[in-house]
Amino acid sequence: MAFYDKLIESLGLADWCSNEASTGPVSMADLLKQTQGDDSAADTSFWDTPFPSLDELNAACSAIPKTRSVTDGVENSFLSIKDPLKTVLDPITQPLSWALDGSMWLFEALPWFVVIPIFLLVVYWATRSLALVGFVGVSFLFMAFIDHYLPAIQTLSIIFVCTSFSVVLGVPIGILMSRSRSMRRALVPILDMLQTLPTFVYLIPLIFLFSVTESKLYGIAIILYAIVPVIRLTDLGIRLVDKEVLEAAHAFGMTDRQKLFKVQIPLALPNIMAGVNQTIMMSLAMVVIASLVSAPGLGVLVLRGIRNLELGVGLVAGLGIVLLAVLLDRVTKAALARVNAAQKQQ
Amino acid sequence: MSKNPMISIRNLYKIFGDTPDKMMELVRAGIGKEELLEAHGHVLGLQDINVDMQEGETTVVMGLSGSGKSTLIRHINRLIDPTAGEVLIQGDNVLEYDSDRLRAMRRSQMSMVFQHFALLPHRNVLENVALAPIVRGDPSESYDPEARHWLERVGLAGYEDHYPHQLSGGMQQRVGIARALTSNAPIMLMDEAFSALDPLIRTDMQDLLLELQNELAKTIVFISHDLDEALKLADHLVILKDGLVVQQDEPQHILLNPQDDYVVDFIADINRARVLRVRSIMDPISQDSFVGDVDQEASLEDVIALTGGDTSGMYRVTRAGAVVGQLDLKALVRALVRTKASDTRRAF
Ligand SMILES: Nc1ncnc2c1ncn2[C@@H]1O[C@H](COP(=O)(O)OP(=O)(O)OP(=O)(O)O)[C@@H](O)[C@H]1O
Ligand SMILES: [Mg+2]
C-alpha cells in the first residue's frame, strides 16, 4: 500500500494506472523494499506525509514515471545528439590536441639546461625584475632536484597552451560583448554557469564526446573553466575606457578599427592582463582535476597520493603545484604592474 | 556681420529618450521641458537653436550646468546627431554627410579640446600632439616638425618623450591645445577647456589662447560656465538656459542691454569697470574741450584711474591716434550701475 493510493482512487485514475503499467527501471529503493518484505503502510500518520514526488506517486500509480526515468531521459537525449555533435566538434577542436601534444613534445624533447634558461629569459623580459628571475630559477632547480622536473614542465606546458587558447578566444568574445548589449545578455548567464559548475561536472559530458586518449579532452575542460575571467575583464576593461578619450578618438576622425586598436585595447590592457592572470590561476586549479582524465603533470602525482594513500608523494606534488602557482602569479602580476605603470591614467 | 558664417546652426532641436521623433511633434506643438520630462520621460536638451559663428571669431557659449552647452558643441562635429534642424559648415549641411565624409571633415576641418584633456595615456606627449596626422595616416617625417613646433608654441618644448601622467593639469591641457593646433583645422571646438584648471593657470591659458588666436584667427567655439572667462575671450557670446538661447550678441552689448532677468542675474556679479570698454559707452563727438585722451579699447577701470576720482570732465576717445568719439564721465558712472533688463523685452 502506498500513501497516495486513496488520492489516485478518488480522482478515478485507478484504471488508467493499472492499464499502463510502468516499464521504468527498478530503483534501489524498490529492491530494498522487496527484500525487507512489504509491511503495510496504511497506517502512516499525518506527520509522515511524503512529498508527492515522482517515485512516491509511482508507488501508487505505476503509469506515472519514476525519477530515474528523468535522468535516463537526459542521458538518452545527450547520447542521441552525441554523434552529430562529435562530427562537428571533433575537427574544430583538433588543433587543440595538436597544440597540446606539440608543446608537450617540445618541452620534453629539449634538455633541462635549455628549458630553464629560456624560462628565466622570458621572466626577465616580462618583468625586468632580477629578484623574480632568481626566485623562478631557485624554484625550478629545487623541483628538478627532487625529480619533479618532468611533471612540473608538463603542467606548465598544458597551462601555457590552454592560456594561449583562452586569450585568443576570450579577448575577441569580450570585445563583442562590450559592443552589443544583446550579446552581453546572452553571454553573462553562460559565463556564470561555467564559473559555478562544479569542476568535475565539466568532465562528464566530455568523456562521452571525446576519447580519453585524446589530449583535447582535458584541454577543453581546462579552457571552458579558465576562459571566463579573460572574457569578463576584457568586456569590463573596454567598457571602462574613459568616455572623453573615446570622444577625442571620434572627434579626430578615427575609424572603428583605429579606435579599437589604438585606444580601446591599449587602455583596456591592464584589465585584460588581470584577466589573464586569473585565467592562469584557474587553469592551474583545473589541471589537477583534469589528471582524472589523463592530463599528465603534477596532478597525476597528487592523484596517486590519493589512490594509493601515498601521503608523501601527494603532499610533495601539491607543494610543487603551490610553487608553480606562486611563481606564475608573481610573474604575471609583475608584468601587469609594468603595463599599469606605463599608462597610468591621468 | 559677414554674410557667410563659418558655422551656422539652424532650428536645432535635440531630445534625449527612446522615441525622440514622436516627442518632436509634441515639442513643435509647444510642450515645455518640464512637462516633456514628467509626462513622457524625455529630456529636451536643445530647443530651436539658431547661432551663426563667424570665421576667425571666438564664439563663447555659456550657461549653467545642464543648460545644454556640451550637447550643442557636440552637434557641430556630430558626436551627437540632432532630432531636428541643420548644422551648416561653410554652407554645407553636415547632417547629409555619410560616415566617410564625416570622418574626413573631422580629420581636416575641426579639432577639439576637452575638459579633462582626453589625452591617450599610453602614448607620449609628441605622439599625442601628432594624433590628427597619425589618424590621417601621414608619414612621421611630415608631421614630426609640425608637432614639435606647436608643442614649443604652447611652451612645452623638451617634454616630447614624457607621458601625460607625468605632467600637471595645465601642462596636459597645453598638450591638448597643441594637439588641436597640429591638426591644422580651421575650426577649434573647446568644451570647458579650462574649467578643470586652477585660477592662475587658467588665466595663463586664456592669455595663451588669445595670443594664438591673434596670430592664427581660427574659428573657435568655446564653452564656459565662467562669465569672466567668457567676456575675456568672446567676440560673440551666446547665453543658454534650459536648452534655449536667451540672448546672443557682442559681449559688451549684452552687458549694457541684458534682455531678461535671467541675463541680469547672470551678469550681476562681474566687475563691470574692468570688463566694459570705452568704445561701448562713448558718444559721437559733439564738443571740443576735453580733459584728456583715452584709447577706445581702454577699460573703464583704466579711465577711472586716469581721472584720479574726478568724475566731471569729458574725454576724447581715440583709436590708433585718430579721434573716434567722446566719453562723458557721467555716462561712465552710469554704466557702472547694474543694468535692469531692457523694458522692450521684459514683456516676453
Ligand atoms: N545622453 C543623454 N541622455 C539623456 N539626457 C542627456 C544626455 N546627455 C545630456 N542630457 C541632458 O541634456 C541636458 C544638457 O546636458 P549637457 O551635458 O549638454 O549640459 P552642460 O550645459 O554641458 O552642463 P555642464 O556644465 O554640467 O557640462 C541635461 O539636462 C542632461 O541631463
Ligand atoms: Mg558640459
CA distance linking residue A330 with residue A336, whole number of Å: 10
Cα gap A144→A297, rounded to integer Å: 14
Q: What is the per-residue pLDDT for A28?
A: 64
- Nearest CA to A345 among A232, A249, A240? A240
Q: With contact defined as beta carbons under 8 Å apart, do A30 and A42 qualify?
A: no
Measured distance CA(A341)–CA(B122) in Å, rounded = 10
Segment B156-209, tens digit of pLDDT: 999 999 999 999 988 999 999 999 999 999 999 999 999 888 888 889 889 999
Amino acid at B242: D
* Residue B305 contacts A where some CB pair is shorter than 8 Å: no
B224 lines ligand 1 (CB under 6 A): no
Cβ pair B165:A344 closer than 8 A: yes
Average pLDDT over residues A104-127: 92
Residues of B in contact with A250 (CB under 8 A): 79, 106
- State residue B340's pLDDT score: 73
**ipTM of the complex as predicted:** 0.86
- CA dist., res. B248 & res. B254, Å (int): 8
Q: Which residues of B touch A269 (CB under 8 A)?
A: 122
Mean pLDDT, chain B, rounded, equals: 89
Element (H, E) at B340: none
Read off the pTM. 0.83
pLDDT for B345 equals 44
Tell me: pLDDT of A27 over 80.
Answer: no
- Check pLDDT > 70 for residue A117: yes
**Confidence tier at B346 by pLDDT (50, 70, 90):** very low
CA distance, residue A125 to nearest chain B CA (Å): 19
Burial B242-256 (b: 16+ CB within 10 A, else e): bbbbbbbbebbebbb
Superfamily designation of domain A81-345: MetI-like (1.10.3720.10)
Please give the backbone phi and psi of residue B114, each rounded to the nearest 5 degrees, phi first.
Answer: -110, 155
Q: Terminus-to-terminus CA distance in chain A, angstroms?
A: 78
CA pair distance B132, A92, nearest whole angstrom: 43
| Residue found by looking up cell 601621414 in the block | B138
A258 contacts in chain B (CB < 8 Å): 135
Q: What is the pLDDT of residue A345?
A: 46
Ligand 1 lined by B10 (C-beta under 6 Å): no
The three cell numbers locating residue B89: 559648415
What CA–CA distance (Å, rounded) separates A339 from A132?
17
- For residue B45, the CA-to-ligand 1 centroid distance in Å is 7
Q: Determine the 3-state secondary structure of B203 from DSSP.
A: helix
Return the closest-CA partner of residue B82 out of B13, B134, B178, B9: B13
Strand order in the sheet with B110-113: B110-113, B187-191, B219-224, B58-62, B236-241, B244-249
What are the residues facing B190 on neighbouring strands?
B113, B222
Instruction: Please report, for chain A, the start and end positions of each structural domain, with discontinuous segments joined by +.
Output: 5-65, 81-345
Q: Is B14 in the pocket of ligand 1 (CB under 6 A)?
A: no
Residue B132 touches partner A, C-beta closer than 8 Å: yes
HSE (side-chain half, CA atoms, 13 Å) at A256: 4
Question: DSSP characters for A281-345?
Answer: HHHHHHHHHHGGGT--SHHHHHHHHHHTT-HHHHHHHHHHHHHHHHHHHHHHHHHHHHHHHHT--
> Average pLDDT, stretch A148-157?
93
* Closest to A124 in 3D by CA, of A323, A277, A331: A331
3-state secondary structure of B18: coil
Instruction: Report yes or no: A261 at the B interface, CB cutoff 8 Å.
Output: no
Interchain pair A253, B103: CB under 8 A: yes
